[in-house]
A and B are shown apart, each in its own frame.
Chain A
Amino acid sequence: MVAALEDPTAGHVTIGDMPPSDLARRHRLGVAFQDHALLPWLTVRKNIELPFRIANRPVDDRYVDHLLDLVGLSDFDRARPKQLSGGMRQRASIARALVLQPDVLLLDEPFGALDQVTRRHLNIELQRIWSESKITTVLITHSVDEALFLSDRVVVLSGRPGRIVKVVPVPFGRPRTPTVMRDAVFHQLSDDLTESLEGYVGTAEA
């Protein structure tokens, strides 16, 4: 609904004071899914440039370079998605989501299909990206630790029907390092959230 891909059954969603579909039309949303959804016939660079072309804006080469550097793909800008590893594709997909400097970044389990090590690594990189450009981000995740590590506010959703179970503010300051995950408060919150999930699916908002 936030991505304007589905309509709410009742009520309405506004971002700022605009419906999400207006934001989409003005090219002010960024999105990355579990499926990287890169275009297989384009190079990494061309994939990241795609939002500029859709928005009919001139490509800002320097910003694309900067993002490539940020997600660690500078040396792979001319590779095609199938030549990259899963983690690299996901990073390219996140760079594509960021390239128009959107008002809202929607991350729908972007690390879901990755192994633990890569996932941890990308979590840390995402922190770094946010420290450079503060973008309101809605992150959907099944990982309680990921939610706590990355977000300012965790919204726990129940599965079918999806209802908000609870909203938990996360007290840790930024920038966060993985040492946060060893904090006693982190473990306490993690246990609480896991309990409230009881098999439900979790959503986090950063």
Chain B
Amino acid sequence: MTKPSRLASTVYGLVGLSLFIGIWQLVGAYELAGLTWPRFTTVISYLAEPSRWGLFSRALQATLWAMGVGYIVGGIAGFSLAVLSAVFQPLRPMTDTTSAVIHAIPAIAIAPLLIILLGSSVAPAALSALNVFFIMYVSTVAGLSATTPAHRDVFRVLGSSRFQQLCRLELPNALSSIVTGLRLAAPASMIGAIIGEWFGAPRGVGLLIVSAMQNFQIPLLWSAIVLATLTSAAAYGLFGLLERVIHSRFS
């Protein structure tokens, strides 16, 4: 089968999305899933009601802040550790294992710990950072070690130092992989932030979800989820654009 054209994939994508929304609307309209499943249109009009924008924007700002901090801190940490392990090869098994163990801890399990340790206002950013850290570590390590033997031979014969090889060969070569990591890390940072907020952050989309659930405010609950999804998808799409630019330039 040939790869569908760009227009065709856009059309298919839109058809899929419309189907999804259509089914959502039908299930809501005929109450097929009970009263806790509102119509798509109910949720959208709830979201679009200007009197609630203040509430949503305060929550979203808090979540975006946590995401941003987590993204930057986790990203820098993951990237730095990967570069460090590339420069000092003997460190590699150690950093690999450590990152894998950190990644293996379920976010939901470590969240209470972080809240006790750091306080509930910092926990969302910290969880977000943990999620981003692992993705950035793995994508940077993979990118740095993906150089071809021919390229390495050229650098060796030309008498390159280890540092020059890192700066002029390995890092530019890793850029595509790093940008892919950045894209994947965007939704991951949101998940981390929301789980962090879930456990009692002063505000945020996660808090909105919990309190809506506990107070049985069904449209609010769904609206918060839609908001979180849109934010996550937007971040993913934005980094997807960046990725396209980098990929065409660096490979």
Contacts and interface: CB of A to CB of B under 8 A. Distances in A.
Contact of A3 (B153, B160, B168): B153
A4 B160 CA distance: 13
A106 B157 contact: yes
Given A37-B153, A41-B172, A53-B168, A27 B158 contact: yes
A54 B136 CA distance: 28
B159 A26 contact: yes
B250 A24 contact: no
Contacts, number: 62
B151 interface: yes
B158 A24 contact: yes
Given A39-B169, A40-B251, A41-B172, A33 B154 contact: yes
Interface in A21-75: 24-31, 33, 35, 37, 39-41, 50-51, 53-55
Given A35-B150, A37-B148, A41-B249, A29 B157 contact: yes
B157 A24 contact: yes
A24 B251 contact: no
Most buried by A among B153, B169, B175: B153
A37 B160 contact: no
B168 A50 contact: yes
A184 interface: no
A54 B175 CA distance: 20
Interface string B87-128: 000000000000000000000000000000000000000000
Contact of B172 (A4, A35, A39, A100): A39
Size category of the B interface is: 20 to 34
B159 A31 contact: no
B65 interface: no
B155 interface: yes
A5 interface: yes
Interface string B141-180: 0000000101101111111100010001100110100000
Given A41-B250, A54-B164, A35 B148 contact: yes
A5 B156 contact: yes
A27 B154 CA distance: 11
Given A40-B251, A50-B168, A31 B148 contact: no
Nearest to B155: A54
B82 to A, nearest CB: 19
Nearest to A20: B157
Given A37-B151, A39-B169, A54 B249 contact: no
A106 B153 CA distance: 12
Nearest to A93: B154
Interface string B225-251: 000000000000000000000000111
Given A25-B159, A27-B159, A37-B148, A54 B168 contact: yes
Nearest to B246: A41
A4 B157 CA distance: 7
Contacts of B151: 37, 39
Interface in A74-127: 100, 106
A53 B155 CA distance: 11
Contacts of B168: 39, 50, 53-54
Contacts of B155: 54
Closest 9 CB pairs of A and B: A37-B150, A35-B150, A31-B157, A41-B250, A27-B159, A24-B159, A54-B160, A25-B159, A54-B158
26 contacts: A3-B156, A4-B156, A4-B157, A5-B153, A5-B156, A5-B157, A25-B159, A26-B159, A27-B158, A29-B157, A29-B159, A30-B157, A31-B153, A31-B154, A31-B157, A37-B148, A37-B150, A37-B151, A37-B153, A39-B151, A39-B169, A41-B250, A53-B168, A54-B159, A54-B168, A100-B158
Interface of B: 148, 150-151, 153-160, 164, 168-169, 172-173, 175, 249-251
Given A27-B159, A29-B158, A54-B155, 19 more contacts: A3-B157, A4-B157, A5-B157, A26-B159, A27-B158, A29-B157, A30-B157, A31-B157, A33-B150, A35-B150, A37-B153, A39-B168, A39-B169, A40-B250, A40-B251, A41-B172, A41-B175, A41-B249, A100-B158
